[in-house]
């Protein structure tokens, strides 16, 4: 379980095919604190550390993960948002995030405001939904929804988040990982089952 408060950025060093999987090696200033078999959120995707070598570490993405996330668009030199799993007893500064991507979205516009940035995000119509002032995880970052529509929404980014996540490299047309609010997903499913 994660909170969507990004701790660090990791740089992709290499991506290697391993049967139907991808072994992704990254470098982070937090690597010395990692351990084998640890679950870490990478752009919102929960991946397990399988090897550590100095400042570099490796995670494996299986076919299911590759097909349902933006991993296929990752390349050497890209930076991804990192968050280690939350500890029991810690403050929940963001919102509850599982690290299981629901859908891939597309950044359709970036607007620079006076001291902030607004990102418009679109996704294919599905059962996933957002609500005004509700929570959403975008590339693993816990954010508040604004301008909620059927298959689009916007988020506003403060300077700290912009500087400490890969939002500063996000451009119009880029693909992003979306995890919708877990409470909303359960409520939607329960009400749908009840009404049917």
Which CATH topology does 103-195 take? Elongation Factor Tu (Ef-tu); domain 3 (2.40.30)
pLDDT of residue 191: 80
Q: How far is CA 3 from the centre of its chain?
A: 11
Q: What local confidence, expressed as pLDDT, does residue 190 receive?
A: 80
pTM beyond cutoff 0.85? yes
| CATH class of the structural domain 8-84 | mainly beta
Check for a shared fold between 8-84 and 103-195. Answer: yes
pLDDT in tens, 87-105: 877 777 888 899 999 999 9
For residues 122-150, give the mean pLDDT: 95
Tell me, letter by letter, the H, E, C secondary structure of the chain: CECCCCCEEEEEEEEEEECCEEEEEEECCCHHHCCCCCEEEECCEEEEEEEEECCEEEEEECHHHHHHCCHHHCCCCCEEEEEECCCCCCCCCCCCECCCCCEEEEEEEEEECCCCEEEEEEECCCCCCCCCCCEEEECCEEEEEECCCCCEEEEEECHHHHHHCHHHHCCCCCEEEEEECHHHHHHHHHHHHHHC
183 falls in which pLDDT band (50, 70, 90)?
Answer: confident
Task: Name 157's Cβ contacts closer than 8 Å, sequence gap at least 6.
Answer: 116, 117, 118, 119, 143, 167
pLDDT, mean of residues 175-192 = 86
Among the ranges given (2-6, 38-42, 126-130, 151-155), the one the predictor scored with the smallest mean pLDDT: 126-130
> What distance in Å separates the CA atoms of residue 71 and residue 57, rounded to the nearest whole number?
17
Q: What is the pLDDT confidence band of residue 127, given thresholds at 50, 70 and 90? A: confident
Percent of residues, the chain, with pLDDT higher than 70:
98
In the chain, where the domains are located: 8-84, 103-195
Q: Give me the chain's average pLDDT, please.
A: 94
pLDDT of 39-68, one tens digit each?
A: 999 999 999 999 999 999 999 999 999 999
Question: What per-residue confidence (pLDDT) applies to 159?
Answer: 97
Instruction: Express as a percent the part of the chain with pLDDT over 90.
Output: 84
Contact 151, 140 (CB under 8 A): no
């Amino acid at each position: 379980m994660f909170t969507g408060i990004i701790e660090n950025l990791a740089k992709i060093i290499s991506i290697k095919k391993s049967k139907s999987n991808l072994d992704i090696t990254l470098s982070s200033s937090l690597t010395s604190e990692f351990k084998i078999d640890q679950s870490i959120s990478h752009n919102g995707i929960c991946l397990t550390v399988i090897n550590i070598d100095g400042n570099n570490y490796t995670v494996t993405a299986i076919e299911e993960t590759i097909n349902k996330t933006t991993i296929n668009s990752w390349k050497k030199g890209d930076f991804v948002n990192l968050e280690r799993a939350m500890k029991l007893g810690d403050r929940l500064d963001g919102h509850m995030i599982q690290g299981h991507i629901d859908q891939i979205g597309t950044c359709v516009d970036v607007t620079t405001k006076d001291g902030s940035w607004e990102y418009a995000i679109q996704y294919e119509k599905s059962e996933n939904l957002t609500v005004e002032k509700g929570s959403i995880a975008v590339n693993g970052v816990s954010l508040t929804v604004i301008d909620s529509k059927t298959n689009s929404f916007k988020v506003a980014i403060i300077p700290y988040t912009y500087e400490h996540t890969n939002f500063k490299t996000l451009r119009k047309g880029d693909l992003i990982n979306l995890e919708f609010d877990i409470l909303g997903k359960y409520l939607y499913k329960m009400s749908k089952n009840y009404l049917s």
